[in-house]
Amino acid sequence: MAVLPVLTWGDPHLKKNSADVGEWSPELEQLVADMFETALDEEGVGLAAPQVGVNLNLAVIDCSCGEDPAQQIVLINPEIIKEEGSQIGPEGCLSIPGIREVLERPQKVTLRNRAKDGSWHELVGEDLMARAFCHEIDHLRGRLFVEYFGPVKRQVLQRKYQKQMKG
């Protein structure tokens, strides 16, 4: 397994819509392993393929942060089919290190997700998992969480981020 470089705010790869994953392959299996390793190394709950420069509808989530391998979820061509309720809480992004902001997300999310064998099934996530589902799927659609804020707030966050990056 390898830790991959994570693209950061401003990189054009993060603004692209991702292509659907086709047939599962050993290369995709390796990419998923590397993505879990990268998320763990960066202390993140999830990571989408576009964040490591791969334009595919593929993301990994581990709300246990490496504590419980059974909690590792691979999203393949995921699609939100139902959102319920509302939660307001802090959110951050590995592509925008050091920036955390309060954002409203659904309390419960149901996804249609493809398995590695090509079959489809539903996944249901609540609380942090629901937030992670929405956040990672946004990445697959070329959207960063800061885009939910108005232009003034986004500009303030961008200046704060740029100042932080300069040290």
Look up the CATH number of the domain holding residue 162. 3.90.45.10
Q: Is 65 annotated as ligand-binding?
A: no
Q: For residue 4, is it within any domain?
A: no
Active site (catalytic) residues: 136
Q: For residue 27, is it within any domain?
A: yes
pLDDT of residue 1: 80
Contact 51, 92 (CB under 8 A): no
Q: Is 93 annotated as ligand-binding?
A: yes
Domain count, the chain: 1
**Chain centroid offset of residue 79 CA:** 13
d(CA 103, CA 105): 6
pLDDT of residue 96: 96
d(CA 141, CA 57): 8
Q: Is 13 annotated as ligand-binding?
A: no
- Beta strand residue intervals within 95-138, DSSP E: 100-105, 108-114, 120-126
pLDDT digits (tens, 9 = 90+) for 12-64: 999 999 999 999 999 999 999 999 999 999 999 999 999 999 999 999 999 99
Residue with more model confidence, 165 or 102: 102
Once rounded to an integer, what is the mean pLDDT over residues 120-130?
97
d(CA 48, CA 135): 9
Contact 136, 128 (CB under 8 A): no
Q: For residue 23, is it within any domain?
A: yes
Q: For residue 111, is it within any domain?
A: no
Q: For residue 146, is it within any domain?
A: yes
pLDDT of residue 165: 86
Domain that holds residue 157: 12-77+85-105+127-166
